[in-house]
Amino acid sequence: MIVLYILLAIIILIAILAIIAPKTYHVHRSVIINRPTHEVFEYLKYLKNQDEWSPWARKDPDMVKTFTGTDGEIGFVSKWEGNKHVGSGEQEITEIFEGKRIESQLRFFKPWKSISNAFMVVEPVGEETEVTWGFDGENKFPSSIFMLFMNMDKMIGKDFEEGLVYLKERLEKR
């Protein structure tokens, strides 16, 4: 009988944790780049350019990448297979709002499976351009419970900040 009570208590605890766990996540960071907005947008819409500034490309310079479709157009897919720091997955361009926003879907396969919606937004700020890079998604049970103990914004935000610094350096040298 005691085992039954313990089992019931564990089930109730898991149910409570599932109810209070965050159901979604949203991470974004911004940077100001001293380049015209149209120029920054044209560079960003090509996923292959991400290898020049992505923090994950630096974490695994031997990452194997394959591509399907026409880069800079809806439906283009960049697939990667990397070390334990970058895992494996693919990114597909899903929407392009010319001169303003690029949306893509990130499908991670390793180290865990998940899907996130990513975006890059450019906005003119005088003669400069503000670039906002972000992604969001859903935390599904049971992985949502782990989000009670992990902060997606802190985990991924620093990578976004690092990448935006590299992007700024890259574009301002052009």
Q: Are strands 128-138 and 24-33 parallel, antiparallel or unpaired?
A: antiparallel
What's the pLDDT score for residue 147? 63
The residues, any chain, with a CB within 8 Å of residue 75's CB and separated by 6 or more, are 69, 92, 93
What's the pLDDT score for residue 170? 95
Q: Is the peptide bond before 111 cis (omega within 30 degrees of 0)?
A: yes
pLDDT tens per residue, the chain (174 residues)? 788 888 888 877 777 776 766 677 778 999 999 999 999 999 999 999 999 999 988 889 899 999 999 999 999 999 999 998 889 999 999 999 999 999 999 999 988 788 899 999 999 999 999 999 998 877 676 665 666 566 667 778 899 999 999 999 999 987
What's the pLDDT score for residue 149? 62
What's the pLDDT score for residue 38? 96
CATH topology of domain 2-172: Alpha-D-Glucose-1,6-Bisphosphate; Chain A, domain 4 (3.30.530)
Q: E strands, 76-169, where?
A: 77-81, 88-97, 101-110, 114-125, 128-138
In angstroms, rounded to a whole number, what is the distance separating the alpha carbons of residues 122 and 99? Answer: 7
In angstroms, rounded to a whole number, what is the distance separating the alpha carbons of residues 42 and 20? Answer: 42
What's the pLDDT score for residue 111? 84
HSE at residue 133, side-chain half, CA atoms within 13 A, is 24
Tokens coding 33: 């780049």
In angstroms, rounded to a whole number, what is the distance separating the alpha carbons of residues 158 and 163? Answer: 9
In angstroms, rounded to a whole number, what is the distance separating the alpha carbons of residues 39 and 31? Answer: 15
In angstroms, rounded to a whole number, what is the distance separating the alpha carbons of residues 133 and 120? Answer: 5
Identify the bridge partners of residue 122 per DSSP, sorted by sequence position: 131
Q: What is the pTM of this model?
A: 0.82
